Amino acid sequence: MNSAYGSVRRSESKCRDSAAKAASSRVGGRSSLSRRTAVVATGAVGVLLGLGATHDAAGQGVQIRNLALSGQQAPGLPAGLTFSAFDAFSINASGQIGLFATIAGPGVSATNNQGIWWTQPGSLQLVMRLGDPAPGQSGFTYASTTVPNLSDSGLMAYVASIRPSGGGSIESLWTISPTSPAAAFALGFTQAPGVEAGTQWNAFNAPQINQSGVMAFRAILSGTNPGSSHWIGTPSALSLVGRDGFPTGVLAGVNFSGLFNEYRINSSGTYAFRSSLTGTGVTTSNNQALWSSSPAGVLTLAARTGDQAPQLPSGVTISSITGDPELDRSGRLAYRASLAGPGIDSTNNNAIFVVDNGTTTVLARRGDPAPGLPADVLLDGSFQLTFGGGGSIALRAQLRGAGVSSSNNSAIWKRVGNGPFTLLAREGSAAPGVVPATNFGDVRSDTRIAMNASGKLMLAAALTNSREGIWLEDASGALRLAVLEQTQFDVNDDPNITTLKTASALGFPPEAGDDDGRFTSFSDTGEVVFRLAFTDATSGAFIARLPQACDSIDFNNDASLFDPTDIDAFLSVFSEGPCVPETATCNDVDFNNDGSLFDPCDIDSFLLVFSEGPCTLCGQ
């Protein structure tokens, strides 16, 4: 089986081979050390289950492995039921994946042809399938579902409609974790918690979920007081943040009126959302607001139409707040706004603002010089921002000015901390790694960006010849091509077998920032999950990443390379012993720099590099 989780024997063999190679080629007659290395490396096999081999589809040094292929048996289902299409994915910081897919085979119809799977150690496991009984809901079966969201703690949340035997359906919210089975925590036409009797759940938007499993979602209520509402919390402890027709609690005499499906939640529990307003003193010029709720539940007005625009001349006001708010792990909040007032015209009438610890600044404004481009090239609005870890920001915008045309009027920049914005890609410029050379198309509208906790960026973009691809940012800040349409792609994980297919269509991963609650296909370890369709009408789900940058094999820093003492030192520190010799200063044991300490994969990586092999993913 060529699934990423199907080749246990291959991973085990590779792990043992790497240990044996290092021990025999560098250690020679140190039999006690050889035995110790072999035992520890073999013990890593339990962690390595299912990693499989990788291949490099774009010839850019990018490692790609299979998650699942169409035509493969769908795990957890009767024999003969196979994957037929892959609809969407989510991945958490540790690389656990949620998969929403379509199946085919005997007895499959529109009422039971989709399901959700997730990766657990060593396997891809079924979470739910349409047509199956809904757990804990007697007489109900699953009728429809959506892409699941995963927290870093391993909690999965999803929306599903469930159908009684007599017909019809009700919406519901579900969670499952590695230690708890699937269970509904909110059901349509049942009493909503903490509100007046007779007000019931009715419909739900997909939950956003933070690292620890705290969720935020929008729900439509019915019954006594119907309307939109926003909620935050865990399945057993939900708190109402706001609801249509009820007081904001911040603006006297002003009620919420239209809570938008635009919200974010970060790991600390800070929650941001947008709403309309009604009530005392509210007019069409001041009826939009952006809100931030602290982890303690204190609601703060972050921006309101009609108010003075921060850092702009007196009398310049916010005339509209557009699009989704953006939120990062430190609590920074960004929003886009249109402007009105003295001196405002079509050349300078929109901006993007960032709120940080209560202080709002203009990050970029229409008419500002475009960073990294000639002085007479200006930003022309249509801003879109994505937050990454470490204070990083990706910014997309339109351009105007000298030499700007419809073929080069959009660009992407990145900034780290308070440093300058650097140009990452521009429409009409050559796309890295593409042969023959081809230019990027519109990088403002025809792109998706995701950023992770390391501040690294994933870019999905279209080229001027309509081909689409995915690029990953490397350690130097350069973009490396991972996969491209209309190229040959090896779908076989076995390094000894090549099965080439031509990629005909790429499924773009979703937009997501670091720690903003949205489901993402780009993990903190730099893996991106994506789907490809091929010209032979098959398809697959794949995982790509850049190679890890391993530390030096001079583990004890004595300036001696390929020194067996470094193996002694590494294994001693890994076992929580002293450096060898004890007077030396050893490095940390996260040799492959994946953020995981005391990880047997670091032993595998150390031994591979020591034997002059590459720094690769565990078991590869």
Q: What is the pLDDT of residues 39-71, one digit of tens each?
A: 222 222 222 223 344 555 555 568 898 999 999
The helix/strand/coil state of 392 is strand
Stronger pLDDT, 222 or 122, i.e. the higher one? 222
pLDDT score at 38: 22
pLDDT score at 121: 78
The helix/strand/coil state of 607 is helix
Full DSSP string of 405-417: -TTS-EEEEEEET
In 463-601, at which residue ranges do the beta strands (DSSP E only) sit?
A: 468-473, 479-484, 488-490, 500-507, 528-534, 539-545
For residues 451 and 387, is the Cβ–Cβ distance under 8 A?
yes
Geometric angle at alpha carbon 324, from 318 and 326, rounded to 5°: 95
- The pLDDT confidence band at residue 84, using thresholds 50, 70 and 90, is very high
Structure tokens given for 66: 């299979």
Geometric angle at alpha carbon 450, from 444 and 455, rounded to 5°: 115
- The pLDDT confidence band at residue 493, using thresholds 50, 70 and 90, is confident
Q: Is pLDDT of 570 > 70?
A: yes
What does the pLDDT look like over 434-481, one tens digit per residue?
A: 999 999 999 999 999 999 999 999 999 999 999 999 999 998 899 999
| 328: exposed, middle or buried (Cβ count in 10 Å: 0-12, 13-18, 19+) | buried
The helix/strand/coil state of 569 is helix
Q: Is pLDDT of 355 > 60?
A: yes
Q: Is pLDDT of 617 > 90?
A: no
Percent of the chain with pLDDT over 90: 75
- The pLDDT confidence band at residue 400, using thresholds 50, 70 and 90, is very high
pLDDT score at 534: 97
Dist. CA 99–CA 149, nearest whole Å? 10
pLDDT score at 205: 94
Stronger pLDDT, 28 or 220, i.e. the higher one? 220
Dist. CA 403–CA 411, nearest whole Å? 14
Residue that is written with structure tokens 């139409």 in the block: 305
Dist. CA 335–CA 385, nearest whole Å? 8
Stronger pLDDT, 363 or 595, i.e. the higher one? 363
Average pLDDT over residues 519-532: 94
Q: Are strands 63-69 and 447-451 parallel, antiparallel or unpaired?
A: unpaired
Average pLDDT over residues 371-380: 96
Q: Is pLDDT of 247 > 60?
A: yes
pLDDT score at 448: 96
Average pLDDT over residues 271-300: 95
Is the torsion defined by CA of 476, 482, 485, 490 positive or negative?
A: positive
- The pLDDT confidence band at residue 182, using thresholds 50, 70 and 90, is very high
**Among 385, 254, 360, 246, CA closest to 302:** 360
Q: State the average pLDDT for the chain.
A: 87
Q: Is pLDDT of 605 > 80?
A: yes
Indicate the Cα dihedral angle 271, 147, 544, 19, nearest 10°.
Answer: 90
Q: Is pLDDT of 157 > 90?
A: yes
Stronger pLDDT, 414 or 14, i.e. the higher one? 414
- The pLDDT confidence band at residue 176, using thresholds 50, 70 and 90, is very high
